[in-house]
Chain A
């Protein structure tokens, strides 16, 4: 991909991500919010492709957009939607939230480093270059094998926790 095309793709993806995130947190209809979040996730997957994280992009589309977001949509449709649409969308504490956002933006501009510009070229490439996803898998099953197993435990606890929390209390 040419440099110019890559830049253009990045700026499109960045602008679309920011716009869909902003729309997602301001729409009053929860379903519309969810659909804007779906657009955000797909554009972020495009950014992952652009920075060479293809496996992460695939996981983003399959797990985030495919599983987690459908889960959220399912819950929104399970609960009472019309009263949500009619109600005020922001709480009375929204000036506090806006102030927190303003402080965050100030800190961002204060410590933003545009000097962090050029990716450093690979200085020490001694081994034969591996295909990208293969390199990720190799790291995941060697160096990160223990965290990988711990994540399976985290997911197991989440499954059990969700069942325990959401279970209807039986009269026993």
Chain B
């Protein structure tokens, strides 16, 4: 059936795409979405090892990752709303007030 090596490769490629997206996009919402892509890659990794070891605990860890992703979405988008109230848009290079 599906080999674990192929699943891990898929997971790594998805994580890499999410990493590049997170580092290169300018829109904060799309940075958060790239973070969700990375978390999905991690879930694929958990499911792959659960499949490999014939073990349900990997799935349970992936469930916890999904719960944390939901919390992260709520907090992150709350921050975006708080930022967008004071600024015309939500681009990352307009957030320069902590720099000097």
Interface residues of A (CB under 8 A from B): 3, 6-7, 10, 14, 17-18, 21-22, 24-26, 30, 33-34, 37, 40-41, 44, 47-48, 50-53, 55-56, 59-60, 63-64, 67-68, 71-72, 75-76, 78-80, 83-84, 87-94, 96-98, 100-101, 104-105, 108, 112-122, 132, 135-136, 139-140, 143-144, 147, 151, 154-155, 157-159, 161-163, 165-166, 168
Contact = CB atoms under 8 A, between A and B. Distances in A.
Contacts of A105: 16
Given A56-B62, A108-B13, 20 more contacts: A7-B2, A10-B6, A17-B14, A30-B27, A30-B30, A51-B47, A56-B47, A59-B66, A68-B69, A72-B29, A72-B36, A78-B81, A87-B91, A97-B20, A116-B3, A151-B67, A154-B68, A161-B75, A165-B82, A168-B85
Interface residues of B, number: 75
A contact patch SS = helix
A162 B5 contact: no
**In terms of DSSP, what is the predominant structure of the interface of chain B?**
helix
A100 B26 contact: no
B73 A122 contact: no
Contact of B21 (A25, A116, A118, A155): A25
Given A25-B25, A59-B66, A112 B2 contact: no
Contact of B52 (A14, A112, A120, A166): A120
B97 interface: no
Contact of A18 (B1, B14, B22, B24): B14
